[in-house]
Amino acid sequence: MGRQRKRKGDPVHGWLAVDKPVDITSTKVVGILKRLYNAQKAGHGGTLDPLADGILPIAFGEATKTAQWAMDCDKEYIFTIEWGSSTDSQDKEGEVIATSDVRPSREAIIEILPDFIGDIQQIPPKYSAIKVDGERAYDLARDGESFEIPSREVTVYEAELVDTPDTDHAVIRVVSGKGFYVRAMARDIAQALGAEGHVSQLRRTRVGPMSESNAIKLTDLEDMGEDKSRLKAALSPLQTVLDDIPHVEINASDSAAIKQGREVLLLPHVVEQWNADRSDDPEDRLTLALCDDQAVALGEVRAGRFKPSKVFQL
C-alpha cells in the first residue's frame, strides 16, 4: 500500500459571509478565497449569478459538510425589474425576445404582489442549473434546444415594492425559501401585469443568519492578504448555518467517542432540554452535538442516546 497523499493547504474550517461584487462567478470567488486562506477545501452555499452582488456564503473545510443547510436557508433579495423588454435569460445578459410599451403603475404592482406570497408554483428559468434529462438547462438553452422545465413549489414569505425610481423601473424586496428564482418571479410579475420585463439589478442581502451587517467585501479580504490572523478572525463557526437545529451539550470524553462513530448516553436534563427545543414533528430528530461551543456531529436522539450520522473532524 502506498502512502496516502497529504492534501495541500491548511486545515481551515468555518463559514465566511462574503459580499460578492458583480461580474464575477461564485466559483471564481471560491477559488480566490481558497488561495487567500491556503485552505485544503472550500465551497459555496448557493450560487449567485455574475450579474448579482451580495451575500455569498463560503464554507471551508468541515463546514462544507453543512453547505446544504446554507442552500436551504431563507434568503432576502432586492431586485430591479426593467420594463419594456423580456430576454431569454430573464436578465440584462440575455437576448431580447419581446418588447412592449406597457409600463405598470406603482398601484398595479402593489396590488399584484400578494399573489406571489405563500407556497406558489414557479417554473425555473431556462438559463438555470436545473437538470433536464441529465443535462443542465443552461447548456440546452445555449445550444438552442427546445425543452420544458416542470413547475415546482417554492415559498415566498415577503414581497414588497421598495421604489419606482422612474416609469421604466420597479425595485422589489423579497424573502424566499429554497429553490426560488428571482428571474422567474420577475418574468411572472411582468406577465401578470401584461407587460414585458427583465431583471436589471439583483442583490442578495441575506442568507439565513448571514447578512449585510456581518458580511465582508471580497476586496477587503484581499487587502488582508498575508495577515492570516485577520483572515481567520473573519470566519464564523461551522454551526452558523445550523442555528435552527436543536442541540445537545456533551463533554470531552463523549465528543471523542462520537468522533469514532459511537453512540453516547445523554444526561436526563440534556434530553429534557432537547425535547423542549425540538419541533413538533415526531419524525424530526435531527440534532447538533456541541462541546464547548464547537460542533462535534449531527445525528439523532433516540431513547436518551445521541447517535451520530455526520461527524465533524475539527
Rg (CA), the chain: 22
Q: CB within 8 A of 130, min separation 6: which ones? A: 124, 136, 137, 149
Asked if 14-73+210-240 and 245-311 have one fold, the answer is: no
How far is Cα 312 from Cα 314, in angstroms, rounded to an integer? 6
Amino acid at 151: S
Each domain of the chain, given as residue ranges in start order, spans 14-73+210-240, 75-207, 245-311
Residues 56-62, mean pLDDT to the nearest whole number: 96
The 3-class SS string of 117-131 reads CEEEEECCCCCCCCE
- Residue 247 near residue 289 (C-beta atoms within 8 A): yes
Reading the block at residue 129, the C-alpha cell is: 442549473
Question: Over the stretch 210-227, which tens digit does the pLDDT of each residue have?
Answer: 999 999 999 999 998 778
- Residue 176 near residue 78 (C-beta atoms within 8 A): no
- At 2, the pLDDT band (50, 70, 90 cuts) reads very low
278, 236, 271: which is closest to 250 by C-alpha? Answer: 271
Q: Does 2.30.130.10 match the CATH number of domain 245-311?
A: yes
How far is Cα 302 from Cα 167, in angstroms, rounded to an integer? 59
- At 26, the pLDDT band (50, 70, 90 cuts) reads very high
CATH number, domain 14-73+210-240, options 3.40.50.1580, 3.30.2350.10, 3.30.70.1350, 3.20.20.140: 3.30.2350.10
Tally helices (H) and strands (E) across the chain.
Answer: 9, 19
Question: Over the stretch 120-168, which tens digit does the pLDDT of each residue have?
Answer: 999 988 877 778 878 888 787 777 777 888 899 999 999 999 999 999 9
From 10, 23, 49, 220, the catalytic residue: 49
Question: Over the stretch 218-276, which tens digit does the pLDDT of each residue have?
Answer: 999 999 877 888 999 999 999 999 988 999 999 999 999 999 999 999 999 999 999 88
Report pLDDT for 4. Answer: 55
Question: Over the stretch 188-197, which tens digit does the pLDDT of each residue have?
Answer: 999 999 999 9
pLDDT over 70, % of the chain: 98
Can you name the CATH fold of 75-207?
Pseudouridine synthase (3.30.2350)
Report pLDDT for 1. Answer: 43
- Residue 28 near residue 48 (C-beta atoms within 8 A): no
- At 5, the pLDDT band (50, 70, 90 cuts) reads low
Catalytic site residue 49?
yes
Report pLDDT for 46. Answer: 84
How far is Cα 63 from Cα 238, in angstroms, rounded to an integer? 5
